[in-house]
Amino acid sequence: MSALRRSTVTTRDGFELATQSGGPKRTHVVLLLAGQANAHRWWDGIRDGFEDRWRTITFDWRGTGESRGEVGEWSTASFADDAADVLRALGGAPAAVYGTSMGGRVAQMLALRHPELVSSLVLACTSPGGPHAREWDGDVRRRLSEPDDAVRLASLRDLFYTSDWPHDVRESRLLGDPTMTSEEARMHRRVSRRHDAWDELPRLDVPTLVLHGADDRMAPAENAHLLGERIPGAHVLVHEKGRHGFFEEFADVVTPTVRGFLRAHA
């Protein structure tokens, strides 16, 4: 992976966000939005698949990586405003936005709250939120709250990857930022849990690709079809056997699919 250009963006309320840019400096931007309780490392190895053609931008969510400060009443709407501040500060808008998991929830809010900043939208392994969304079941909740670290790690491997994924789960970049405080982690869980864009999604007017793994139990694949029904003109693709980390495990298929969509809607 090429060296990232790092900077700090001060948001409208004075919080300092760590940002990272890669790829050509003067070209279209792809804003990559990571999952819950993760910093920009979520995209390590994946962003390389875009940087021959696009400038990639990431930032560390509040409470992760190098974006640390007071914990407030965060939400997908407030994180979307942070993303808007980053795009305005670093330039390149309107940008293609590729959001995964909680990042997909934030991407929805970014396109709704700041439509002038978004040229196209890719939503992966995510949910519209609200009472109609399909959330994880009691077994997943129990496995994620397992007090034994080794058992919980094995559960995370099973929830994110298929049995064919060849790596040690400790090499995964998707399992959370271990430097987070309990308060920061709790607030991130709350951000995801309270997301609800259901009523507003039909007014989205941006090319949208919805991607999901068929065997995702953390954000069941029914959510992809709900998003496809709620967002006008959205195209839905479900990857057979993929789990919550399908976009990484099957990047050799998923990334070219995203690239083709971005080229079509540059």
pLDDT in tens, 159-211: 999 999 999 999 999 999 999 999 999 999 999 999 999 999 999 999 999 99
Of 108, 115, 144, residue with least CA distance to 129: 108
| Cα Rg of the chain (Å, integer) | 17
Report, as an integer, the average pLDDT of 36-44: 97
pLDDT of residue 1: 52
Order across the sheet with 5-10: list the strands.
5-10, 16-22, 55-59, 29-33, 95-100, 118-124, 208-213, 235-239
Of 121, 132, 125, residue with least CA distance to 235: 121
**What is the per-residue pLDDT across 108-157, written as a single tens digit (0 to 9) for each?**
999 999 999 999 999 999 999 999 999 888 888 888 777 888 888 889 99
pLDDT of residue 82: 98
- Write out the H or E segment, with its range, that includes residue 125: none
160 φ, ψ (degrees, to nearest 5): -95, -30
Residues with Cβ within 8 Å of 142's Cβ and at least 6 positions away in sequence, in order, are none
- Angle between the 182-193 and 76-90 helix axes, to the nearest 10 degrees? 100
Lowest mean pLDDT segment, chosen from 36-45, 147-156, 166-175, 219-228: 147-156
What is the residue type of 163?
A: S
C-alpha to C-alpha distance for 82 and 89, rounded to whole angstroms = 11
**What is the per-residue pLDDT across 72-101, written as a single tens digit (0 to 9) for each?**
999 999 999 999 999 999 998 999 999 999
Contact 218, 9 (CB under 8 A): no
Contact 208, 233 (CB under 8 A): yes
